[in-house]
């Protein structure tokens, strides 16, 4: 049975950077598509009034939303409400209750620091704003396994698990969803998608930029917390999951992703290599003796029947040569057809961002009289035109009560269990130059080397 649609959207942190860059553009797009026609109530402590929030919304869509839509934006302005006040003040939530009016099924979206999640949840309950509502919370959800469990317990005092939507914008990307569709919608892939044919899997998330003024945040997070625990383990679970039982219940698919993580042992210190780009310690907000990683390379295994013995390598970092996220499955090399001719390994490559590419690495006869082999790549560039932006899709899902693209409690805790040792191991940190592929010490981690696509 489908959930009842929400009759109001409340977003805490309405004056913040995330709302400015992502949320207002998503709201305008939702109005344009006709999927948002309920009150949108911004809550923050900024000393603002409604016209200030409306002006902020206009500036947001002009800078980040492709401009003001002459039809949709006026409708959005009419939906906007604003409550100004401190989250620790009960009067703020009394004002929110008044703005909600007759709404019985609101969605409360917390675009605020996780340290405030519990406080806001309790205040919502005291003001009578929690009953029948859904709660959407931003990442990071905890900073390790212990804090994630504590946060889950705190939120469950007010909201049942089925009403908590842990947002990870990576799950809203059409390209990440396409990875799953390509796996299960094409018969030719399934027979080889296992340890009999796949030699190794690499997942790379490279960013050519640095911390971009977020030094204070990044020096408390680091690469493992920032992108591995959430984004890249999500990608891994999509790559490695089993086909779910045929069902209309989205929990069957979410359960398959949890099974993947349950099969991944916690990362051991010997399988971690951390790096830091030269100049990071001079960034504003970064400690002068910081040992926080801006690059990490990890080796892990998925101990399921399908993937037994296949190493999975994850690499992520800042100030690398390109901005690109890719999955590469290297296949086992067939026996040579002529003695003395070495065949290049086949591979399947999925680029997730900035564009979507599916590529097959193959071997053909090289030009000339002699029988020689050369590698080629057959690729398909898939247009992203028509795909929804992640926040537009995810907020729409939350309004409908569709939890498919959100992280479940057990999934989040399993992800933290896997990376906790990597965070706490205090392994050496190796310096690397901006514009390179990280520390030279990482180069030998992968047999045959890390894959770097030419296009």
**Half-sphere exposure in the Cβ direction for 233 (13 Å, CA):** 34
SS3 327: strand
Give the distance from CA 240 to its chain's centroid: 17
Which residue numbers are catalytic?
A: 231
Q: How far apart are CA 373 and CA 382, in angstroms?
A: 29
Give CA angle at 85 (90, 47), nearest 5°.
160
Give CA angle at 410 (313, 27), nearest 5°.
90
Q: How far apart are CA 121 and CA 98, in angstroms?
A: 17
Question: CB 455: neighbour CB atoms within 10 A?
Answer: 8
Handedness of CA 312, 187, 333, 325 (dihedral sign): negative
**257 closest CA partner among 180, 328, 314:** 180
| DSSP secondary structure letters along 68-131 | --TTHHHHHHHHEEEEE--TT-HHHHHHHHHHHTT-SSEEEEE-S-GGGHHHHHHHHHHTT-ST
Q: Which two tokens stand for residue 217?
A: 């945040």
**232 closest CA partner among 168, 144, 165:** 168
**218 closest CA partner among 290, 321, 275:** 290
Task: Spell out the alpha helix ranges (H) of 281-425.
Answer: 390-400, 409-424
**195 closest CA partner among 24, 329, 290:** 329
Question: CB 260: neighbour CB atoms within 10 A?
Answer: 22
């Amino acid at each position: 049975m489908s959930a009842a649609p929400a009759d109001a959207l409340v977003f805490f942190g309405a004056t913040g950077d995330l709302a400015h860059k992502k949320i207002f553009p998503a709201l305008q797009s939702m109005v344009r598509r006709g999927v948002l026609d309920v009150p949108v109530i911004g809550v923050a402590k900024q000393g603002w009034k409604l016209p200030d929030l409306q002006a902020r919304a206009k500036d947001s869509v002009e800078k980040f939303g492709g401009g003001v839509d002459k039809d949709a934006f006026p409708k959005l302005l009419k939906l906007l409400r604003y409550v100004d006040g401190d989250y620790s003040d009960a009067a703020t939530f009394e004002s929110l209750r008044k703005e909600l009016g007759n709404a019985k099924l609101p969605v409360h979206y917390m675009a605020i620091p996780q340290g405030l999640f519990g406080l806001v949840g309790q205040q919502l309950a005291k003001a009578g704003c929690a009953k029948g509502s859904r709660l959407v919370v931003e990442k990071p959800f905890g900073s390790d396994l212990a804090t994630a469990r504590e946060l889950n317990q705190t939120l469950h005092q007010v909201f049942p698990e089925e009403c908590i939507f842990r947002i990870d914008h990576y799950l809203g990307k059409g390209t990440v969803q396409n990875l799953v569709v390509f796996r299960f919608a094409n018969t030719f892939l399934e027979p080889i998608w296992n340890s009999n044919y796949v030699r190794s899997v690499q997942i790379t998330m490279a960013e050519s930029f640095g911390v971009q003024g977020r030094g204070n945040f990044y020096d408390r997070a680091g690469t493992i917390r920032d992108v591995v625990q959430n984004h890249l383990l999500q990608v891994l679970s999509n790559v490695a999951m089993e086909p779910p039982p045929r069902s209309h219940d989205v929990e069957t698919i979410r359960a398959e992703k949890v099974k993947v993580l349950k099969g991944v042992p916690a990362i051991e210190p010997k399988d971690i290599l951390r790096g830091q780009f030269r100049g990071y310690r001079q960034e504003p907000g970064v400690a002068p003796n910081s040992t926080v990683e801006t690059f990490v390379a990890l080796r892990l295994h998925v101990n399921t029947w399908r993937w037994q013995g296949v190493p999975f390598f994850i690499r992520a970092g800042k100030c690398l040569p390109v901005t690109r996220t890719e999955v590469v499955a290297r296949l086992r090399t067939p026996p040579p057809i002529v003695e003395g001719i070495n065949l290049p390994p086949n591979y399947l490559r999925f680029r997730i961002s900035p564009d979507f590419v599916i590529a097959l690495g193959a071997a053909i006869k090289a030009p000339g009289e002699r029988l020689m082999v050369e590698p080629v790549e057959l690729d398909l560039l898939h247009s992203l035109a028509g795909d929804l932006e992640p926040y537009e899709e995810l907020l729409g899902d939350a309004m409908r009560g569709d939890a498919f693209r959100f992280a479940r409690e057990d999934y989040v805790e399993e992800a933290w269990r896997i990376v906790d040792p990597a965070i706490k191991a205090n392994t050496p940190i190796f310096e690397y130059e901006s514009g390179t592929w990280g520390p030279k010490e990482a180069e030998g981690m992968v047999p045959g080397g890390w894959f770097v696509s030419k296009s």
